Chains A and B, each alone.
Chain A
Amino acid sequence: MKKSLLLSVFGLFAVLNLSAQIPSVKIQDINSREFDTKDMVDGKTPAVITFWSVKCRPCIAEMNILNDCFEDWQEEMDFRVIAVSCDDSRFNSKAKSMIGGNSWENFIHLFDINGDFKRAMNFSYEPQVFVIDPNGKIVYSHSGENPGIEEEVFEALKEASL
């Protein structure tokens, strides 16, 4: 009884998280200009939001996987990849240099230097991936390493673009 009640509460949290919307938080774009995260929602296309940091090995691996899939997926649907660096100001220039070094130019790059957006999205592990539909509803969320990430993200994007 206790177990099922606890499971129900956890389930409720999971459902609440997935039906959540992108909060409005001020972060920076690649040109160090202010960017409001609610502007990630364009009303037309779904988006993959991936959180990464310069020293996080699985994050870099995941960014490369998404980059490899990007063009193939674009042939099937219109979508965006928004990469949010979680590095603080001390690693910001390294994050920017890694974008060019890894040819991640297909992505929209944002910088959560103070960690405000990460806190608002309520996760602690990186990599962290969300898929949002054109209206900003979170339809997929995964925290931590995931060897099969591309299949799950692709399915979520297809569903979100319907």
Chain B
Amino acid sequence: MKKIISIIACCILSLSAFAQDAYVVWSHKVEKVEKDLYKVIFSAKIKEGYHSYSIKDEISATEFLDCSVTGGKLEGEVIETLKAIPYPDGSLCYEGEMEYVQLIRLKAAEALYSGTIYTDACKKGEGCHSEYYDFEISLKSR
């Protein structure tokens, strides 16, 4: 009986080793810039040993997809606030963290900013993992 339990426990342990943590963890905060103008700051923590790509990278760029604002409008494009690391293969990467900002102009008392951030998390010698982060951010005039 003990043997059976040990074998089952080993199998469960082995399976859990295959389980994946998130490679890029996103969070956001909203700051008021001026009357009706807000900035949404997206911060990403990149798993140790991995890198992700700048929105300016030619091939593997992080992308903001299907973005829309109900009750407002996007003011300009997404910008990145940290400095990407140029890699020898010509790519522009981030290690540890990355940060992006989008300005939103409110046209009503309340707005809903939604979209998806696509990013690749890669590790030298292992390969890449594609991630999609769906967001829905409520903005209230204050």
Q: Hey, which bits of chain A sit against chain B, CB under 8 A?
A: 5-6, 9-10, 13, 53, 55-60, 86, 88, 90, 124-128, 143-145
| Given A55-B60, A57-B60, A124-B20, A10-B14 contact (CB < 8 Å) | yes
B 1-20 to A, binary, CB cutoff 8 A, 1 in contact else 0 = 00000100011011000001
CB neighbours (8 Å) of A53 from chain B are 128, 130
- Docked-complex contact B127 and A60, CB < 8 angstroms: no
Q: A55-B120, A55-B128, A124-B129 given. 20 additional CB < 8 A pairs?
A: A9-B11, A10-B14, A13-B14, A53-B130, A56-B60, A56-B120, A56-B122, A56-B127, A56-B128, A56-B130, A57-B60, A57-B91, A58-B122, A88-B132, A126-B127, A127-B127, A128-B127, A143-B127, A144-B126, A145-B127
Least distance between A58 CB and chain B CB atoms (Å) = 6
CA distance A127 to B120 in the complex (A): 12
Contact B128 A126 (CB under 8 A): yes
Residues of A within 8 A of B127 (CB): 56, 58-59, 125-128, 143-145
Q: Which residues, 5 to 58 on B, are CB-close (under 8 Å) to A?
A: 6, 10-11, 13-14, 20, 53
The answer to whether B122 and A57 have CB atoms under 8 Å apart is yes
For residue B142, CB closer than 8 A to chain A, the reply is no
Can you pick out 12 interface pairs between chain A and chain B where the beta carbons lie within 8 Å of each other? A5-B6, A9-B11, A13-B14, A56-B120, A59-B128, A90-B66, A90-B118, A124-B129, A128-B127, A143-B126, A144-B127, A145-B126
Q: Assess A145 versus B59: contact at CB under 8 Å? Given A5-B10, A10-B14.
A: no
Report the separation of the CA atoms of residues A127 and B127 in the bound assembly, to the nearest whole angstrom: 6
